[in-house]
Amino acid sequence: MKLKNVLIRVTAIVAVIVTFLSCDNDFNSVGSEIIGDVNFEDKKYSTIPVSYSRKFERVRTSRLVHNNQALHANVLGVYNDPVYGQSVYSVLSQVQPNTFNPDFGDNAVLDSVVLNLPYFSEATATATDDNGATITTYELDSIYGSQPFKLSVYQSDYFLRDFDPASSDRQVYYSDDIQNNFGPEVEPASNLLYSTTSFVPSASELTLLLPDGTDEGTEPDVSRVSPRLRIKFSDEVRDRFKEQFLDKEGGVELSNANNFFNYFRGIYFKTEPVNNDGSLVLFNMSGGDITLHYTSDSGTPVERTQKTLELSFVNNIVNAITTTLDPTIAEELKDENQDKINGEDNLYLKGGDGSYAVIDLFGGTVINENGEEENELSFLRRQDWLINDANLTFYVNRDKVTSGGDTEPERIYVFNLKTGTILADYSLDSNFQLLNEEDPVNSILSHLGRINRDSDKKGESYKIRLTQHILSLLDDEEIENVKIGVAVSQNVNITTTAIGDTPTTNDEIIPSSSIISHEGTILYGNGENVPEAKRLKLDIFYTASKKN
């Protein structure tokens, strides 16, 4: 063998080894082993997947989970999407006392009833005032808009059951149930607890006066708490709670969870736009409560003692979503107007009870090396390629999405449309083990790239890395070429799914993180009217052998 060929061969082998060692899951082989005297060349294979949109008529909003726990992040308020139109979010929740069979003590008197719902917020600075108190400045997270909306709080008379009597499965509640199925029982006029037409979330720290402790003096103690919706109900509502709780001491109504859920059926937060506008807030429902503050006799000698009974928001929590779509988009999203064979020009991604995109990666045919028409996936599986990288690039249709900024979703999420599960690249992402629950916008960045923005902060594109998914699909003929779903995501760390109904089918899969997201965008698909440079495409970067 000539020295020249030996050097070429050694150099090629070293290059392969170095690439394997330097790239995590970036260099993978498909096809036969490398033998003989070969050169290598890097190439790119591009294909145009078929893509279209599907719209939900309703989505499941109860019992959403994350990390095997209930996802108590619920959306409340009014949001005017600059592309899609207005969505109104309300919440119906069961509550449960922190103790059953409560002993209120002798001569119990209910002093006040207070509702607390913390916002998602972050402390940004502290300072000391003239009295030596520490003042904290907060920045609100997950607040969208600044206009007031009408907020009404009702005690609901609708019973949220745990099990479906027709199947004995867990009862599922949907985004349209409150409006279309529950009726006036969720908001009887006689059960109105609170109402305001000018509610706007505030970032201000709350200062609460507490009863004087045992430390010194007679001045009330002061407590400072993070920003939240805090309502001290009227004396009339307080008297109502006295009859429902203090006067029921020892009764079966307060004896266990089942009896209590049937007795006190829940709290309904109803929102309505003001002047066709409003704002939106994501509440930490798991941190919220309704607290009954009461005093009673205790001890010897007898003293008046201040106590509390807390009602937590638990079990069945249902988000109502009512969206009024832009008429043009609503027409285009009709199932009969979506071309599932050839694909569409635009892909409509909208959170809440909105829509998602369907991607068929290799559903078409190609002309092979013999000039014959062949199924594209079969053709690719026959190639002797070493896969280096593969990604989908979605371009934002900026003719339709003109506002940019915070109105555009920072992240989109892809999933197996048949099972709802994540793709292989998710768990192989370089920062998968560094999931940051406090900063989900920066999780899984290699697989699910953040939006790429230009200098004016308007979105241009998203890049989704599918290297391992493509490698597995090409390397194993037993793996089905399932369609991929693409949705907006409020939090890509949340990998659980829910179900929704479309005009033609039931039980369509949708990520939970899309349901709690309010944003939307329009991406270019693969239609013939799409500018070639903006058309959805799958790029596969590979190394191929070439005989000398």
* Cα separation, 50 vs 209, whole angstroms: 62
Q: What would the pLDDT profile of 528-548 be if each residue is shown by its tens digit?
A: 999 999 999 999 999 988 754
Q: Does the structure show a pLDDT above 50 at 9?
A: no
What are the helix (H) ranges across 324-466?
Answer: 327-332, 376-381, 424-427
* Cα separation, 327 vs 329, whole angstroms: 6
Question: SS in 3 state form for 97-137?
Answer: ECCCCCCCCEEEEEEEEEEEEEECEEEEEEEECCCCCEEEE
Tell how far CA 488 is from the center of its chain. Answer: 8
- The CA-atom distances, in angstroms, between 17 and each of 12, 23, 28, 41 are 9, 10, 11, 15
Is-contact 178 243, C-beta < 8 A? no
DSSP reduced 3-state for 389? strand
- pLDDT band at 20, cuts 50/70/90? very low
The conformation of residue 265, written as its DSSP 8-state character, comes to -
pLDDT at 120: 87
* Cα separation, 359 vs 412, whole angstroms: 14
What are the helix (H) ranges across 89-234?
Answer: 177
* Cα separation, 76 vs 320, whole angstroms: 9
pLDDT at 217: 54
Token pair in block for residue 444: 């899984």
Is-contact 407 351, C-beta < 8 A? no
CB atoms closer than 10 angstroms to residue 203: 14
H or E stretch covering 393 = strand 385-395
Token pair in block for residue 384: 């002797």
- Mean pLDDT over all residues of the chain? 88
* Cα separation, 247 vs 463, whole angstroms: 61
pLDDT at 432: 61
Share above pLDDT 90 across residues of the chain, in percent, rounded to a whole number: 68
Q: Does the structure show a pLDDT above 70 at 10?
A: no
Is-contact 60 172, C-beta < 8 A? yes
| Burial of residue 166, with CB atoms counted within 10 A of its CB: 0-12 exposed, 13-18 middle, 19 or more buried | exposed
* Cα separation, 387 vs 382, whole angstroms: 13
Token pair in block for residue 262: 């049937």
Q: Does the structure show a pLDDT above 50 at 109?
A: yes
H or E stretch covering 474 = helix 467-475
Per the listing, tokens 């050694």 go with: 10
Q: Does the structure show a pLDDT above 90 at 157?
A: yes
Is-contact 318 76, C-beta < 8 A? no
DSSP reduced 3-state for 432? helix
pLDDT at 218: 57
pLDDT at 74: 87
Of 504 and 271, the one with more pLDDT:
271
Q: What would the pLDDT profile of 459-514 be if each residue is shown by its tens digit?
A: 999 999 999 999 999 998 889 999 999 999 989 999 999 989 888 777 889 999 99
Q: Does the structure show a pLDDT above 60 at 34?
A: no
The DSSP secondary structure of 165-181, one letter per residue, reads TTTSSBP--BTTHIIII
* Cα separation, 333 vs 347, whole angstroms: 9
Token pair in block for residue 146: 């600044």
* Residue from 479, 498, 478 nearest 487 by CA: 498
The DSSP secondary structure of 478-542, one letter per residue, reads TS----EEEEE-S-TT---EEEEE-SS-S-EEEEHHHHT---EEEEE-S-TTS-GGGS-EEEEEE
The conformation of residue 60, written as its DSSP 8-state character, comes to B
Q: Is the peptide bond before 301 cis (omega within 30 degrees of 0)?
A: yes
pLDDT at 448: 95
- The amino acid that residue 4 corresponds to is K
DSSP reduced 3-state for 44? strand
Q: What would the pLDDT profile of 182-238 be if each residue is shown by its tens digit?
A: 999 999 999 999 999 999 999 998 888 766 555 555 566 778 888 999 999 999 999
Of the listed ranges 121-130, 158-167, 274-283, 383-392, the least confidently predicted one is: 121-130
Enumerate long-range contacts of 304-307, CB under 8 Å, 24 or more apart.
305/105, 306/111, 306/211, 307/104, 307/105
Q: Which residues of 424-470 form beta strands (DSSP E)?
A: 452-453, 459-465
- pLDDT band at 429, cuts 50/70/90? confident
pLDDT at 35: 47
Share above pLDDT 70 across residues of the chain, in percent, rounded to a whole number: 88
CB atoms closer than 10 angstroms to residue 496: 14
- The amino acid that residue 40 corresponds to is F
Q: Does the structure show a pLDDT above 90 at 275?
A: yes
DSSP reduced 3-state for 207? strand
Question: SS in 3 state form for 66-104?
Answer: ECCEECCEEEEEEEEECCCEEEEEEEEEEEEECCCCCCC
Q: What would the pLDDT profile of 36-59 be if each residue is shown by its tens digit?
A: 446 888 999 999 999 999 999 999
Q: What would the pLDDT profile of 367-386 be if each residue is shown by its tens digit?
A: 988 889 999 999 999 998 99
